[in-house]
Amino acid sequence: MDRDEKGMSGRKRNFKELVCFLDSIEAHIFVLDCVGHIKCLNRVLLKTIGHSFLEVKDKYLWDVLLPPGNSEPVKEIFEELRQFLETESTDSAHLPFTRESCMVTKAGSERVFDWSINALWDDAGNLEYVIGTGRDITQYRQTEEELSDSITRQRAVFEGTTIGIVVADTRGKIIQANPALQRMLLYTEQELTRMVFADFTYPDDLRVNLNLFYSLIAGEIDHYQMDKRYVRRDGSVFWADLNISATRNQEGGILYVIGILEDITERKKAEETKLRLNAIIEETSDFVATADLNGKILDYNKAARKWLGIEENDDLVNCRISDTQPSDRVPIVWDEGIPQAIEHGIWSGESLILTPDGKEIPVSQVIIAHKTVDGSLAYLSTIVRDITEHLLARQVSDLTRSNEELEQFAYITSHDLQEPLRMISSYTQLLASRYQGRLDADAEEFINYIVDGTKRMQRLIRDLLAYSRVTTQGQKFEEVDVNTVFGQVLTDLDFRIRETQAIITYDSLPMVKADATQLGQLFLNILGNALKYHGEATPEIHVGVEHQGLEWVFSIRDNGIGIAPEHYERIFMIFQRLHARNEYSGTGIGLAICKKIVERRGGRIWVSSTLNEGSTFFFTIPE
């Protein structure tokens, strides 16, 4: 073996020893020849990139291990390195140098490495190998990017949120304030960093705030929260919800204090308004309470406690709204009031409250259904007012009106009834003086006048008596089957119905509490008018009824001659006629009697009409 062969054999043996040595090092190492062919990848690097050495041996590094986009720059760097090493001495102070680059694993993922590049020379001083020793910094770079993203997001939150954020030192001096806080206080960040938080704290809130702040700095508490007032630059005051916490180092020392401020001025105003309303509710003389959707009472005011005979600290265990009322009134609240309030939002009516001593107090009651923000039902509230005095006033008013009507009746009796009486008297005297002992045509005419006048007088007196007796001789209100009463009315009107060929229809009529005789008279008068004022058309009459709230609303619709709107009120007044006697008979008292009957029962009566098309009379009967 010649000398050159021995030298080559020695270098191969040395390289194998180098490879074995590199495999024992827990670092990522590659060896390239002077043109970039891969000559060695140690065990650690092969494991990281997932290749076997045979798959990459003698291939260019940039062809198999570098990302496509990184190949050309690395080729240029390698060429510069080779030229540099060829021109510099082998003990150049510029080596090793560092580079950061990516390698592609067999699975296709990229890993980032921090390389330290060095070189080996042969005996002649020529570049023989380029050696790279590095560490996988992929995780580090990912963490760095994530941290950068996190800082960017935190900065975006800090700058973009509508909530005020302040950073202060342990003395309370402002270090940093975000734009939202600057807008709240009307100070710039530069101005705020020359201040301590006490400078813009409302004086009355400062002591409490300082005590909590010092406790935080002393390590007695980790954080604190308080509602406090701040003074803006222009002197105006606003409320904020303040949350303070401390950021500490590894030794537990405080680095800085972070404050989060949310403007709650509107909420505070609402709370103050609520407190004022609660004070008013508590002191009002009306019974006020809240209840769940089953009617169970939850809260109640002072008046409710007084009405129910309970002490201030007593609890209403399982007490319902309906339990405060007599048993016969429970359906009004339970079956009608609460369901209608839940369906429509509010219900109102009149009822009774039962006191602990058994006394029944007449009341007006409102039940309101309250909803949550999402629209679901939350609870009920009720307001109950004693209307005893109101009912007494109503009775006094009714009595006063009745007396006035009686006075009017007395005047009419002494005035208008004199006309038929004078007629009877005059013609009777004429008969007596002129036709004494004889009867001829004139006498018969006179007698007819007497008869006619007498009939009108009797009818007038009869109607007036009926009108006066509505109040003075009315019967006790009892449960009445309106179907039965209406059937009797149809029987009484049978001749006129057949005479006019009228078509009368009606709904199924309810049971009501009323004076049966007066109820019949009410239907008789209105139906009688419908049969009288029918014009040329065949009368068509329909009687309907509808339950509304706490009352029944009856309607009697006809197709008669109708009534002009300006006469809607007039027709219910006594002796008010719209037609001459030679057109339609009557005394003008019938509808006045109807009005008095309805009002005696606590109802209302009114008319809706169109001339030449018909009228509909409505009246109500409370339950």
User: Residue 90 in contact with residue 125, Cβ under 8 Å?
Assistant: yes
* pLDDT number for residue 1: 47
CA–CA distance, 621 with 599 (Å, rounded to integer): 9
Query: Quick one: average pLDDT of 492-520?
Result: 88
Task: Give residue-wise pLDDT tens across range 150-168.
Answer: 656 667 666 768 888 889 9
- Residue 566, pLDDT > 70, answer yes
* Record: fold of 389-473: Helix Hairpins (1.10.287)
- The strand pairing partners of 554, in sequence order, are 545, 619
Query: Quick one: average pLDDT of 258-262?
Result: 91
- Residue 325, pLDDT > 60, answer yes
- Residue 620, pLDDT > 80, answer yes
Task: Give residue-wise pLDDT tens across range 460-498.
Answer: 555 555 555 555 555 778 898 999 999 888 988 888 888
- Residue 580, pLDDT > 50, answer no
Least confident of 275-289, 320-334, 403-417, 482-496: 403-417
Task: Give residue-wise pLDDT tens across range 105-129.
Answer: 998 888 988 888 887 777 777 778 8
Query: 234 falls in which pLDDT band (50, 70, 90)?
Result: very high
CA 39 to chain centre: 77
Query: 570 falls in which pLDDT band (50, 70, 90)?
Result: confident
Q: ∠ at Cα 559 (555, 560), nearest 5°?
A: 105
Query: What mean pLDDT is reported for the chain?
Result: 79
CATH for 475-622 is 3.30.565.10
Task: Give residue-wise pLDDT tens across range 375-388.
Answer: 888 888 888 888 88
The domain segmentation of the chain, as residue ranges, is 12-142, 161-268, 292-386, 389-473, 475-622
Q: Domain 292-386 class?
A: alpha beta
Fold matches, 161-268 and 292-386: yes
CA–CA distance, 135 with 12 (Å, rounded to integer): 28
- Residue 4, pLDDT > 60, answer no
User: Residue 287 in contact with residue 383, Cβ under 8 Å?
Assistant: yes
* pLDDT number for residue 439: 59
Least confident of 164-173, 304-313, 493-502: 304-313
CATH label, 12-142, candidates 2.40.50.320, 2.60.120.10, 3.30.450.20, 3.40.630.40: 3.30.450.20
* pLDDT number for residue 157: 67
| Element housing 263 (H / E) | strand 254-263
* pLDDT number for residue 264: 92
Task: Give residue-wise pLDDT tens across range 537-554.
Answer: 889 999 999 998 889 999
Task: Give residue-wise pLDDT tens across range 337-371.
Answer: 888 888 888 888 887 877 777 788 888 888 888 88
**In 251-337, where does DSSP find H-type helix?**
265-283, 302-308, 330-331
CA–CA distance, 158 with 156 (Å, rounded to integer): 5
- Residue 31, pLDDT > 80, answer yes
* pLDDT number for residue 316: 56
CA–CA distance, 304 with 22 (Å, rounded to integer): 93
Query: 524 falls in which pLDDT band (50, 70, 90)?
Result: confident
* pLDDT number for residue 93: 47
Task: Give residue-wise pLDDT tens across range 65-76.
Answer: 888 777 676 676
* pLDDT number for residue 481: 93
Query: 414 falls in which pLDDT band (50, 70, 90)?
Result: very low
Task: Give residue-wise pLDDT tens across range 170-210.
Answer: 999 998 888 889 999 999 989 999 999 999 999 999 999 99
Higher pLDDT, 395 or 57: 57
Query: Quick one: average pLDDT of 439-461?
Result: 61
Q: Domain 161-268 class?
A: alpha beta
* pLDDT number for residue 555: 92
Task: Give residue-wise pLDDT tens across range 43-58.
Answer: 988 999 999 989 989 8
- Whole-structure pTM value: 0.41
DSSP 394-458: HHHHHHHHHHHHHHHHHHHHHHTTHHHHHHHHHHHHHHHHHSTT---HHHHHHHHHHHHHHHHHH
DSSP 325-385: S-GGGHHIIIIIIHHHHHHHSEEEEEEEEE-TTS-EEEEEEEEEEEE-TTS-EEEEEEEEE
- SS3 state at 264: coil
